[in-house]
Structure 1
């Protein structure tokens, strides 16, 4: 039997079959280090079940928190994997992704001249891969020349977005919407949901660690040197060495056009104690990775770094939250480009 009977959620297959009455359980998951929004549903197989196979078009709908009408939660999407099991009843577990999954699973090569911006490069990827685009902001930052060889398209997109952030631009995240592929600025959501420990929050876990801390950054040049010659040092920035000890990161990045750019990026990589907050609460099914969230009483500006929605009536969600500074360091300053 299905977990919910109120009609809050549904799965449409090939725009022909509504499977809501057959859903046993369903989750939606997303994280900032993954491009695709993922749904997993366990479906009860009945005699009139239409059958599901990988490659079919699918969409997940649900009533948003406080809303009365169903909206698209995952669309456009594709069936990626199917697993049958039997334990007192025949069940099918279906894994679905939004269609950015094709960018994560496909490789190509590109050579881009210097001076292009991340949004311009995304238009090029989309044109070559016949991907519909929604709204794209002007990302503003001119990028260095890039040679991408046999990499997946998502990795290329993220290198472009990381370089944008490293050079002082906003943090953007690719997101598939019903209008097409868009770039969403981290923390720019118009509706900011408030989580109240005395009302809708079940559990809060706060973690503080030196794992991932950086108290000294050395930026090296990328010009070729002989085996017996050390690389040129462009910049050295130091942080909380006296308090936390020396935790040094070496960066060798071809995108820096000046020493001042290297120093600015090195300073942005400095980080002390890493603090994250994990919250389990009643589900607000429209919260996405990259959204700003208000945790009452925390006194912090927080971004959802990962989200897991366990859909139901009522549902439950688990969020991993961090500051915008932590998001920038962890996801946008964490590797050379």
Structure 2
């Protein structure tokens, strides 16, 4: 990050869950959709709440437009849907299109953090308290969907975020479908259905830069898609246990998934290359912290460890890089 409280779209801020939403004046969409108005209880920052759902600046399922709107295309249990949300005058207006429109509007408050309880969080460190004070609109999203977070999380295993974002972008655009409604000017796509993921040829995974291990994990998950989506009715811990039954899905991937699908405030990401050092540096000046040290430092935040980690990431207090970036691998050349 270039400045402590002016994050740019680097790996740290993406993991911290921030995306820029222009402070424009929301316009009416060009095609009639179903509409819902909702008044949040307390401050709400759309860029902070919905930022974790964006998989890179070119994510074909997510768009923030100059008029201050956030657009999201997704595959709901009722079918494809597009949701546009914009905040003005203390009210959030949602418009939705497609077979999944009603489902999206029904769950819009949860998506925007209505089921979150930020008031339960008690800062124990100055850096965390300061970050929370400067980010009063932070709430944890709850999508109520598993695969849409699980699949891109699998793509992010053991590779750079640029590689993972590229794979997600290429696969969704090639095998997904155009989002219903005006869809941010026709630039949004709905991710493929489980059966479509299962039928993607091996060479297309290869062209997207996805190795056999990650592709096989996704294929195993989509073959039990119904069981995966049932996890939304479980607690976050139970959902993680169910996801980890699938070979190739471990604690890192399951935590990254339930943070979004369940709004899991305590699902701290373990097994991450950068997070332990960032938490260790911010809370104890220890840039060499491992998972065990990170969990010990976050113990005072039991029940809210994911929120604490997000605030640390958003604080910008990260150690300077002292080793080369993770190398990028082009499996097409192998």
Provide the TM-score with structure 1 as the length reference: 0.24
| Richer in strand (by share) | 1
- Based on CA coordinates, which of the two structures has the bigger radius of gyration? 1
Higher relative contact order (CA 8 A, sep 6+): 2
Q: Which structure carries more helix by proportion? A: 2
TM-score for the superposition, normalised by structure 2: 0.24
